[in-house]
Structure 1
Amino acid sequence: MNLPYQLLTFAVLATCWELYAGVRGGLLLPGFAETVRATAGLLGEAELWRALYVSNQALVLGFALAVVVGVPLGTALGRFRLLERYADVHLNILLVTPMAALIPLLVMSVGVGTVSRVVLVALFSVVMVIVNSRAGVRQVDPALIEMARSFGAGERTVWARILLPAALPAVMTGVRLGLGRAVTGMVLVELLMVSDGIGGLILTYRGLLKAPQLYGTIAVILAEALLLGAAAHWAERRLARWTRPNPSRTRTARSQR
């Protein structure tokens, strides 16, 4: 339903970009059409795909580490107040710390390589996963837990039947937001530390003043981020389908008023 409006907005932005580049552009600002041609040319080059392969290794491993650590830790923090008292200060430090400042520490501790890139990507995304997972458990109505307890439900049953199903939408939201942050960390770590993958390609085109290829590379990164976000949103709808409104029930409720 929103596709026509999105296409209209994209057309307006592309037109403004082309007009501005025609008036004020030059060596460092290509037009929209020129950028599209450069992007199409990049997609046919093996160098781009090699760079994407190298960069996405850190993205996949780092994001998987963030999910494996963040979801259990976030749900545990939301459930056990005592654990949250000890861990909350460390979580707040991660929330306010500029991750780029940790790059020199990573280089000195684990060296320059895949491990440091994976760790930084994980640090970028794990905070979002933890915070949203904790919020999902916290928003569960305590009356539901007390009712389950009154019927003899144990802690495992409370987790399986109440906490995890109720927290799943918030957990998936955290995973989706963390995925966007992971892409940011993937690019940032290569721009500031290891110029081997897609970040190295950006620095190369910038140094050679190849603006169309530079903008095309950034467009490829944006396209990947949008595709990953759409895939995460689709998974969120599939796994938490009970949270979506039922159109037939909505129409019935309106007709009964």
Structure 2
Amino acid sequence: MAGGGGLNAPTPAQIRQWTEELARDPGSRVFLPLAEAHWRAGRTEVALRLCLRGLERYPDDVAAHVLLGRLYAAHGDLERAMDEWSIAVQLDPDHVEAHRELGRAWLARGQPERARPHLERIGEALPAPVSDGARSPTSDPVAAWEAALAALVAQGVLGAVVIDEQGLVVAGRVVVEGIDLAEALAAAFHGLGDDAERACRYLGLGDWSGATLELARAHVRVLPLGRGSLAVATAPTVPLGRAIRLAERLQRAAGPLVGEPA
């Protein structure tokens, strides 16, 4: 939903070229890749202005409506975001990303029945019902985790991954530009909790409860989870306090995956 880090991201030269082209010709279609580039870099205000101006000239640009919806969602305006995604599916009833965003948004609103037609349209299953990461004793903990993650995507969560003590992925995904980076994140953060715990103990700072890495295109919150850890990626536009609360919700939902209560 919100911008993420960049495999195959445009180069500074490409961004400069698009900017110059748009300055010469305000009607150029490069407004869209330029807006996407700014979105990925966390410059959502610039991306928002580019999208709005572009849609004034090209109101039927489906991809622009989808991106505008993601930008509104990153600012916490889910109502406007859903309006844009609804316009997108009206213009293109088979648009996969627009249906996916609407499905996730309805899940975030606690209305799975309204999410169902959008997710089924693109071949995605409706997650098992949960409430704020809770699950019934008979539910599948992986399904409960997936539902909790899906419900938070519309609130700025880019993805999350549960990592066991061996550095292996237990569940989750962090998809950036069509590529799942879960395995890479697991490898990068394996052992971080142990190192942090030792450092906190040595310095007399108490128990380690989490750490945040502020990257250019995403903020990653790493929390302890059993003998492993949980990495939650959020858009840079999400305030740190809110990002921590979202990560803690996913931490509670992930507890059953490592034998802890939800």
Per the TM superposition, whether the score is higher than 0.5 is no
Is the strand fraction higher in 1 or 2?
A: 2
TM-score range, shorter chain: under 0.3
Question: Which structure is richer in relative contact order (CA contacts within 8 A, separation 6 or more)?
Answer: 1
TM-score, structure 1 as length reference: 0.26
Larger radius of gyration: 1
TM-score, structure 2 as length reference: 0.25
